[in-house]
Chains A and B, each alone.
Chain A
Amino acid sequence: MKHVLAVLVENKPGVLARIAGLFSRRGFNIDSLAVGETLDPNISRMTITVTGDSSTLEQVVKQLNKLVNVIKISNVTEDPAVIRELMLIKVQADPQTRSDIQQIVETFRGKVVDVSLDSLVIEITGDEEKLEAIKILLQHFGIREVVRTGKVAILRGSKTTREGYGGLVD
Chain B
Amino acid sequence: MKKMKGSEMVISALEKEQATIVFGYPGGAVLPLYDSLYDSSIQHYLSRHEQGAVHAADGYARSTGKPGVVFATSGPGATNLVTGIATAYMDSVPLVIFTGQVGSGAIGTDAFQEADITGITIPITKHNFLVNSAQELPKIIKEAFHLASTGRNGPVLIDLPKDIQDEIGEFDYPEKVDIQGYKPTIEGHPGQITRAVKMIKKAQKPLIIGGGGIIRSGASEHLYKLVEESQIPVCLTLMGLGGFPGDHPLFLGMLGMHGTRAANYAVMETDLIIAVGMRFDDRVTGHLPSFGANANVIHIDVDPAEIGKNIQVDIPIVGDVSLVLKRMLKNFNPGDTSEWLQKVKEWKEEDRKFVNCESPEAVKTPEIIKTIFNKTEDRETVIATDVGQHQMWTAQHFCFSRPRTLLSSGGLGTMGYGFPASIGAQVGKPDATVFCITGDGSFQMNIQELATAAHYQLPVKIMIINNSFLGMVRQWQELFFNRRYSSTSLAGNPDFCKVAEAYGVPGKRVSQVDEMESAIDWALSTEGPVVVEFVVETEDNVFPMVAPNRPLNEIIDKRGTK
Contacts and interface: CB of A to CB of B under 8 A. Distances in A.
Contact of A21 (B123, B179, B303, B309): B123
- Select the residue from B118, B130, B181, B309 with max chain A CB neighbours within 10 A: B181
B191 interface: no
B179 A68 contact: yes
A59 B305 contact: yes
Contact of A65 (B122, B147, B304): B304
Interface string A24-44: 010000000000000000000
B305 A18 contact: no
Given A14-B130, A17-B122, A18-B122, A65 B305 contact: yes
Nearest to B306: A62
A85 interface: no
Q: Which of A10, A55, A66 has the most CB of B within 10 A?
A: A66
A68 B147 contact: yes
B181 A67 contact: yes
A86 B119 CA distance: 32
A75 interface: no
Nearest to B152: A66
A63 B179 CA distance: 17
A58 interface: yes
Contacts of A71: 180-181
Interface residues of B, number: 17
Contacts of A21: 122-123
Contact of A68 (B182, B303, B309): B182
B368 to A, nearest CB: 40
Interface in A58-117: 58-59, 62-63, 65-71
Nearest to A62: B305
A14 B118 contact: yes
B478 to A, nearest CB: 34
Interface in A103-154: none
Interface in B182-207: 182
Given A14-B130, A17-B119, A18-B122, A70 B308 contact: no
Contacts of A10: 180-181
A66 B130 contact: no
B127 interface: yes
A14 B125 CA distance: 14
Interface core residue of A9, A18, A21 (most chain B CB under 10 Å) = A18
Interface in B108-162: 118-119, 122-123, 126-127, 130, 147
A95 to B, nearest CB: 50
Contacts of B118: 14
Contacts of A165: 180
Nearest to B143: A68
Given A10-B180, A71-B180, A71-B181, A66 B122 contact: no
A105 to B, nearest CB: 43
A47 to B, nearest CB: 18
A67 B303 CA distance: 12
Q: Which of A14, A63, A68, A70 has the most CB of B within 10 A?
A: A68
Nearest to A69: B181
A6 to B, nearest CB: 15
Contacts of A70: 181
B303 A66 contact: yes
Contacts of A9: 181
A24 to B, nearest CB: 10
A57 to B, nearest CB: 12
Contacts of A66: 126, 303, 305
Contacts of A166: 180
A46 B118 CA distance: 22
A69 to B, nearest CB: 6
Interface in B403-449: none
A167 B182 CA distance: 17
Contacts of A65: 304-305
Nearest to A8: B181
Nearest to B308: A58
A13 B130 CA distance: 9
Contacts of B127: 67-68
Contacts of B126: 66, 68
Nearest to A14: B118
Contacts of A67: 127, 181
B130 A68 contact: no
Contacts of B305: 59, 62-63, 65-66
A70 B183 CA distance: 11
A89 to B, nearest CB: 36
A65 to B, nearest CB: 7
Nearest to B179: A68
Nearest to B304: A62
Contacts of B119: 14, 17
Residue from A14, A21, A25, A55 with most neighbouring chain B CB atoms (10 Å): A14
A169 B281 CA distance: 42
Contacts of A59: 305, 308-309
A69 B179 CA distance: 9
Nearest to A168: B180
Contacts of B309: 59, 62
16 contacts: A9-B181, A14-B118, A14-B119, A17-B119, A21-B123, A59-B308, A59-B309, A62-B304, A62-B309, A66-B305, A67-B127, A67-B181, A68-B179, A68-B182, A69-B181, A165-B180
Given A55-B308, A59-B308, 18 more contacts: A9-B181, A10-B180, A13-B130, A14-B118, A14-B119, A17-B122, A21-B123, A58-B308, A62-B304, A65-B304, A66-B303, A68-B127, A68-B181, A68-B182, A69-B181, A70-B181, A71-B180, A71-B181
Closest 3 CB pairs of A and B: A62-B305, A68-B127, A71-B181
